[in-house]
Amino acid sequence: MKQVKRMKKGELPQKVCACCGRPFAWRRKWARDWDEVRYCSERCRRDKGGRAPR
């Protein structure tokens, strides 16, 4: 049986959203393509830089 190392929320990798400029943390659903993730949400992905970053 494979053991999975659990990380605390504070230890998860973070990035800054390309649209809104807010930091966001790694999510399990992004595990396979974390290197390509650029936006924190679907809304930011749709806007793709329409708003000025903070």
Dump pLDDT digits (tens) for 23-37: 999 999 999 999 999
Which run of H or E residues covers position 46? helix 42-47
Residue 6 banded pLDDT, cuts 50, 70, 90: confident
User: What is the rounded distance in angstroms from the CA atom of residue 7 to the CA atom of residue 3?
Assistant: 13
Has this prediction a pTM greater than 0.75?
A: no
